[in-house]
Amino acid sequence: MAPNSESGGGQPGGDAAKWYELFSRGARDWLRHDEKVRESVRQHLPQIVAGGELINGGSRTVRVPVRMLEHYHFRLRRPEEQQGAGQGKAKPGDVFADPSKQRGPGEKGPGGQDEGEVQLLLEFKVDDIVDWLWEEMELPNLKARVGPSEDSDWVREGWDRRGARSRLDRRRSFKELVKRRGAPGATPTFTDEDLRYRQLARRRQPAIHAVVFFLLDVSGSMSDRDRKLAKTFFFWVVQGLRREYRSLETVFVAHTTEAWEFTEAEFFQVSGTGGTVASTGLAKVQEIIDERYNPSRCNIYLFYASDGDNSVSDSADARETLSAIAEDACFTGYVEVSSGLSRQLATETGRLFAEMAAAGCAAGSYALNDFDDVWGAVRHFFSAESRAEETASP
């Protein structure tokens, strides 16, 4: 929301209207207010955006509803909060404020006199948020495996006598002038011959090749909230990694008792019913790796989100497939979403990943219980510092 300057009420007198626009203090203070709100939203961004309505059909903004700022001020207690006190005829046990007099939720009250509240809807660009929050995070264990794709970039290279004004190299031009004049002391004057412009050239570099698998358990035991929690985590991971690595490939897989590969847009909408057989999902990932990615030329990552309730009969299969993947992968991460229950990874799948880590594979897990935690999870997996701490004190 931003103030739009209005022409003075459709009045023809242009000069007079302009004179009064000089006083547009309302707009100025409005902007200052918005700035303050944005500042404070920004300070609490991890909590706010994680719970926000953000996976809305590919739109690149997050909407955060906020209230207007208000002055601190003294005010009288509301009648509901008041308690009686007195020195009169009251006896111990008398009730002064009768809570039963308060209106029940079903009843209608008298029409209000107060002015309605105005709510601001702030829009943040996803890219901005990632800029603010995604600090010094990186894929763990990234190895210099070079794939078929290449980055190309413009680099400065050499000088020329012609070029864009903005790339004029003053120091170089001045040297040319001195060279031409030779004798010191004479007043130097530039000619077009002296000017030197920096040139740009396109250079290709082999890109580091990485693929990230996002595997999501969408079985019936995952509640809507669990699913949303996992998707929120994935969403921010995808945003952050894309920003960091230009040639990053992503693969989205969801599983119940079967497994399917999805496009990104579909993946964030997917839901399912049925039992949980983790090995099917892992097998699907393995299949895709075999089909499309050569582990020796590609960094492979797997992030798996589930509530951890794998069916018991599947545990042997799951272990086998997971260790096969872990051999090729640079890192496998497990996010346990269990809203309300903080089981701290004491589940079937949780134990599986703990075993893997104990066996020396690059694996990690994180218990994600609440939306406030999403950025904690992101930091856990991708910030170099938190991983260093972890290895220091396992």
* Residues at the interface with another protein (CB under 8 A): 6, 8-11, 16-17, 20-21, 23-36, 68-74, 115, 118
Three-state secondary-structure class, residue 145: coil
Closer CB to another protein, 72 or 154, in the complex:
72
Q: Which is nearer to another protein, 31 or 359 (CB)?
A: 31
3-state secondary structure 235-279: HHHHHHHHHHCCCEEEEEEEECCCEEEECHHHHCCCCCCCCCCHH
Minimal distance in Å, beta carbon 12 to another protein?
A: 10
Give the residue with the Cβ less far from another protein, 55 or 120. Answer: 120
> In the bound complex, what is the minimum distance in angstroms from residue 25's beta carbon to another protein?
6
Structure-block tokens of residue 254: 């969801």
| Alpha carbon distance 247, 104 (integer Å) | 59
Dig out the tokens for 212 from the structure.
Answer: 């990230």
Biggest alpha carbon distance in the chain? 111
Report d(CA 93, CA 241) in Å as an integer: 65
Nearer to another protein, 32 or 44 (CB): 32
Nearer to another protein, 34 or 336 (CB): 34
Of 16 and 384, the one with the shorter C-beta distance to another protein is 16
Place of tokens 């029409």: 111
Helix (H, G, I), strand (E, B) or coil at 154: strand
| Distance, CA of 161 to chain centre | 46
Cβ 3 to another protein shortest distance, Å: 8
Helix 126-133 × helix 224-244 angle, to 10°: 80
Report, in Å, the least distance between residue 213 CB and another protein: 47
